[in-house]
A and B are shown apart, each in its own frame.
Chain A
Amino acid sequence: MNIIVCIKQVPNTTDVRIDPTTNTLIREGVESVINPFDAYAIEEAVRLKERCGGKVTVITMGPPQAETALREAISLGCDEAVLVSDRKFAGSDTWATSYTLSAAIKKIGAFDIILCGKQASDGDTAQVGPGISAHLDIPQVTYVKKIIEISEKTAKVERMMEEGYDVVETPLPCLFTVVKEINTPRLPSIRGLMKAKSAKPLKWTAEDIGAVPGLLGLDGSPTRVVKIFTPAPRKGGEMLKGDTSDISKELVELLKDIVTG
């Protein structure tokens, strides 16, 4: 079984601050890590390999330093790694990113399953995974919390919903985005760390993946960021004081005002 995992290197969100004047993320001095949700995708890919045999290829689109994230993925059990990196990708929105990744995946060749984290902790869009499946014209199941059965041609999975879960059966190849309930990621092994150290991830440019230039980076991104702002902090609530029955009546009147405007 050929499994592909898409990951993203993100700033460590336990320590993210916004520059109040430019309203952008302060990236200086912030450690980069594998997007936490992608760690579950990596673990599930490695478990699928252990369950069914095959190979796990990890792929990321990003600057050259994203190679660190790929090496970490290898230390956790991925077999091969691909870094898709080109200045032409700068400014990609989720549409351009998923187009680029889908082009790279086509170059990797035959695959049975693509796994992604449900969303990235920096952008929080949850659009790139589904975008890849659309560009590749394969089915997708998002928010997967369990892979119940898997064969050469089909998979049956549990898809997390707000109350309970759906059981979805899908033909393969298919793309799954996974939630943190799916597994507990392992720690690396010494052999894995040694393998990661000597690994040589493939490095592909826009030309290597045969991407159409107009569909890449800022030019290929229909999204326009009109304004980014930090919302004003909420004012403190109003405290009602007095006898319980009196303040309940007062509260009802206040709520009526809000509802009726």
Chain B
Amino acid sequence: MDHFLTEQQTMIRDLARQIADEKIKPVAAHYDETEEFAWPIMKILADSDLFGVYIPEQYGGLGGGIMDMCLVTEELSRACGGIALGYAGTGLGTLPILLHGSEEQKKRFLPDIAKGKRLAAFCLTEAEAGSDAGSIKTTARKEGDKYILNGTKQWITNAGEAEIYTVIALTDKAKGIRGASAFVVEKGTKGMEFGKKEKKMGIRASATREVIFTDCEVPAANLLSKEGMGFIIAMKTLDTSRPGVAAQAVGIAQGALDHALAYSRTRVQFGQPISSFQAIQHMLADMGTQVEAARTLAYAVARMADSGAKSFSKESAMAKLFAGDVAMKVTTDAVQIFGGYGYMREYPVEKFMRDAKITQIYEGTAQIQRNVIAGHMIKESLKK
């Protein structure tokens, strides 16, 4: 389907695809197996300018938007959803600065991110604050011209590898979530440590660790916006990043579908390629249709975000929900088309199925997305 990309977006998509095909595909199984962080690939992405596609030109980027970020994330995810997350997780950690940072903060942090010299991460989730993100316990106490952070963030993508962390912490516990604030914390800040590396079902090339703050002193100049804006910043960040998760899900689904389609044409049973059987053809048709529908929704919402729309929270939740469910369905069917071979780790599709699952969970579970969507629908109907 023609999605009417601009010339620059076509260039970005083609280059991301070339990197995925030539550089990521040959090493995807290796990084899945070893769970190492794919620094050599990050270097290639940095040299190709792809880290800067969504960052304004005055901060060293290429001046595109969420749509451009989605195109890169999708193409990289076709080859490996885990390696793609090093890129997409940096986008998530960068958004709070991009959306709410001061001019000085943008000048300080964005150029290095745009060049791919430093990766970023977003720290919201805690052990007892997952879907219930309002229950975070990490605190930031103001002392003179700095804040003292205490608490533990959990399951942080890019933790340990990234150098720029945006952290949500309570500056006023009494106010609950309205007392939350957002900070930029740089790796190496005293009192900031990383927990053990999690062993995961999928996206194993991605680094997931705790980020632990013990009397960690952060300069007051690193407060984003003002005190009390933390939760709003977090929610706005997630609204903006969800089309990116949708794009990752679309990429994973497309990657699995590509494998399934190619395999169905070469696998011979009952004297003919299995692609000649209607049972397989109908599965392929459904998979192709679902992937295209998810992609179209993701692109539409990404463009809505780039248009400067005030609220796209409902649409963004819809894109993430739909694409995540499609990714799980399509990758499961891809394994089914491969049959017993699909279940074997020697073949590529079981990894796609493992990688797909997270897209129904992180940055808001599918159930939380439904809450968001229904909440907006009901609110809108009341206004009428």
Q: Which residues of A contact B (CB under 8 A)?
A: 186-191, 193-194
Contacts and interface: CB of A to CB of B under 8 A. Distances in A.
A190 B47 contact: no
Contacts of B8: 190, 194
B53 interface: yes
Q: Size range of the interface on B?
A: 10 to 19
A187 B18 contact: yes
B198 interface: no
A189 to B, nearest CB: 5
B12 A187 contact: no
A186 B48 CA distance: 9
A190 B44 contact: no
Contacts, number: 30
A191 B44 CA distance: 14
Contacts of B15: 187-190, 193
Interface string B38-67: 000000100111100100000000100000
Interface string B10-54: 011001001100110000000000000000000010011110010
B309 to A, nearest CB: 26
Nearest to B49: A190
Nearest to B68: A190
A189 B44 CA distance: 9
Contacts of A194: 8, 11
Nearest to A190: B49
A190 B19 contact: no
A189 B50 CA distance: 8
Nearest to B23: A187
A188 B22 CA distance: 13
B11 A189 contact: no
Contacts of A190: 8, 11-12, 15, 48-50, 53, 62
Contact of A189 (B22, B23, B49): B49
Given A187-B19, A190-B12, A194-B8, 5 more contacts: A187-B15, A190-B50, A190-B62, A193-B11, A194-B11
Nearest to B11: A193
Q: Which 4 A-B residue pairings sit nearest by Cβ, starting from the closest?
A: A190-B49, A189-B49, A189-B48, A193-B11
23 contacts: A186-B47, A187-B15, A187-B18, A187-B19, A187-B22, A187-B23, A187-B44, A187-B47, A188-B15, A189-B47, A189-B48, A189-B49, A190-B8, A190-B11, A190-B48, A190-B49, A190-B50, A190-B53, A190-B62, A191-B49, A193-B11, A194-B8, A194-B11
B240 to A, nearest CB: 22
Contacts of A188: 15, 48
Interface string B233-268: 000000000000000000000000000000000000
Interface in B56-96: 62
